[in-house]
Amino acid sequence: SLQGKHVAILGAGRSGRAAAALALREGATVSLWDTAGEEAFAGMPEGVEIHPGATEEIGREVKSDLLVISPGIDTYGSYVAAFAANAGEVIGEVELAARYYQGRIIAITGTNGKTTTTELVARILSHAGLGGSACGNYGVPFAEVVLNASTPAAVSLELSSFQLETIRTLHPVVSIWLNFAPDHMDRYPTVEAYRAAKLRIFENQTAADTAVVRTGEILPELAPKTVSFSTTDPSADWYSDGHLIQHAGEVMVNLDYDTGLRGLHNAENTMAAMAACAALGIPSHTMRE
């Protein structure tokens, strides 16, 4: 419970506003801090204490039970460190939302293809009657979904490395690891640090969960059941030559005739999305539609 707690939020953008509204709903006293001027705070939820022009010097004086960081702010920078000095716990908006969401999460990460895959998962979930909001790094902030009067039974949650840095308890029943390549080297000191942030998607999964992983990816031993997909290895659980998608001896989709998706990269995205939704028990004909 956040009743009687002080929640400080960094960043007055859409994620910060959603986090503020959620913390207010859960009974917290909420303050929102941003380096921008007052114009950035227009339309803030009523009851949120706003602090434009926030500096590191000011941050060092702020005491909070919970510090919530928006994904665009460098988790490891001196600005966050100043506000974190007197904070009980430091998390991100996605983690805050996850603590108040009772449905099932399909979480998607990768250097390339995340958004297409997230949208495909969302559309399959929606067609299956599970709601399936696309949220996180694509779509709407996860906290906005949780604030809805009627929350979906499952969400398609795109997670960037920035968002994964600040999770603690977020638990996907299905995770998707699409691929990995060096990126965001302006934020991370090494490629290994970027990869370590990405790998956190598996952190809270158990043997009862599923990880959907592209064949050939170098990963540590994972607790969840692993389902593979490939455009080069016909022995993978899901295989495509770029035209047909096959699983367990069955042609699941003919990309050329059933979809507008073309190319090996889109075959990979489609296989990942279908494998993840199959893990939730969605039948093949529903996914094909």
Contact 255, 240 (CB under 8 A): yes
Active site residue 114: yes
> Catalytic residue among 6, 51, 114, 247, which?
114
The catalytic residue among 6, 137, 198, 247 is: 137
For residue 108, the cross-strand partners are: 158, 176
Residue 137 designated active-site: yes
Instruction: Classify residue 171 as exposed, middle or buried by CB count within 10 Å of its CB (0-12, 13-18, 19+).
Output: middle
As a residue count, the chain comes to 289
- What residues have CB less than 8 Å from 25, skipping those under 6 apart? 147
Q: Which of 5, 127, 171, 184 is flagged as catalytic?
A: 184
Return the sign of the alpha-carbon dihedral for residues 38, 41, 45, 50: negative
Active site residue 184: yes
| Nearest CA among 255, 239, 258, 257 for reference residue 247 | 239
The CA distance from 172 to 2, in Å, is 23
> Catalytic residues, which ones?
114, 137, 184
